[in-house]
Structure formats: C-alpha cells, structure tokens
Structure 1
C-alpha cells in the first residue's frame, strides 16, 4: 500500500520516513504492485460485522475506529489476486520523491517493474464483498471456538 495514482502525496510514503520509502520503492529489484489511496478511500466496510457479527470479534472491534478499506482491499488482492474485483493500471514505474510525493511514470514496455491496482467494481460492491468475507470469517471463528 502506498501512494496515489497517477500521482499524489499519501501518508504511507511521507508519514514516518519519506526518504527511506523513496529509496525502497525506487531501488527495489523485483516487481511491486501498489494499492493506492484512491482505491480504498470511498470503500466502506465493516458495518454489517459491527451490527450482526459476534460481540467479541476482533475485526469488528477494529471497525469501531476505522471504516475505510485500504488494508482489507490490499489483503483481498494478496489472498485472491485480481479476480473480478481488481485490474492492473498502467505498467510503469512509481517514482517516489524524497518528500514522499509519488508520480507514475508509464512505460510502453509490458515488462514494467511496477503496477498499481484499480477497482473493477463500484466502491459499494467492493465494500459488500469485504463485508461478506468478514462475516463468514467471524461466524466460522465463533463456531470453531465453541
């Protein structure tokens, strides 16, 4: 996670050590797929879990303070890949400046080492998918603990 696409100034790059973030992104030898600020800022999830989920569910507890879905969307991609939810933005290179600002530099090569995710579904549909997965996990965990 980090950045905003095609360009921006987002906390995960500028927050704690912008120079280190810039160095890692700009010199990483392998491929990187970025999940940007714009993807999760309008995807809300967790309400169903808070209302109908088990009282002691840890994910539900976390949602009392945090409702945007940057982290859950990134985890969904890490676990399930692109599926029907995501697509890849333009391949290229994500250049991160020492102040944490990033700028996407598209390339005409299909072998660009960086890419970023885009939603293929609406924000509300993405939130509903996450809610369904949260509820399934919470119910399964509750039943296995009994």
Structure 2
C-alpha cells in the first residue's frame, strides 16, 4: 500500500510510476489527495474539540468542588460532546475511504525496472547459464 505522506509530498513521482505500469490514475489520485487533506483538517478540528472538552471538564470539576453554578459549563460540555461524536464518525468514515482507495492503487515501480507494456518489450541484456529443461 502506498504511504499517504509519499502521495501528498511527491504526487508526481507516484503518478509517473503508475503510468509506467500502464495504469494512469491521475484523477483518482487527485481525489484521494483531496480526501486525505479533508481528513487531516477534520482530525485537527477533532483534536481541538477534545482539548476544549478536557479544559471545560477540568473547569467543571473545579466549580463543582467550589459549589458554584455549573449549568453553563454543563450545556457547553453537552454541545461539545455532540459535535465530537459527529466529527469522530466523519473522521472514521474518511479514514475508511482513504484505506480502501489506497488498497486499490498498485505498488510503485522500481526505478531500475525497464519500461514496457509486456514481457516481450523488455530486452534481454545478458543470460547467465542456460535454462533447465524439465522432462515432466
């Protein structure tokens, strides 16, 4: 499976490698990059909401210990929890999409591999020993 970072950082190299395999997937790769970017943005937003939830929960505990009014914080925590659940589901779905699309993309071709549509296009440079002939 192709690494997400490699796909984002060196998109042209991945696209060229797939073209060498006679498997041009430029449009699919671009859509995959967009999904990965959206995933990263939502993941950052999710982590921010989690940090906010932790901060407000801590304040809630302090105010409860002081026997102060916590109704505002309680509403805030409930609203944030709903947003967290929705965003968490969305991030999970995006991650599944990314994994599925990455599993469909073939591996990259090694730079030493000769170009050719089939085995016949590759020229035999050197032969070491003669191939064995089996009797069965």
Shorter chain as denominator, the TM-score bin is under 0.3
Larger radius of gyration: 2
TM-score by length of 2: 0.24
Counting helix residues as a fraction of each chain, which structure ranks higher? 2
- TM-score with structure 1 length normalisation? 0.23
Which protein has the bigger strand share?
1
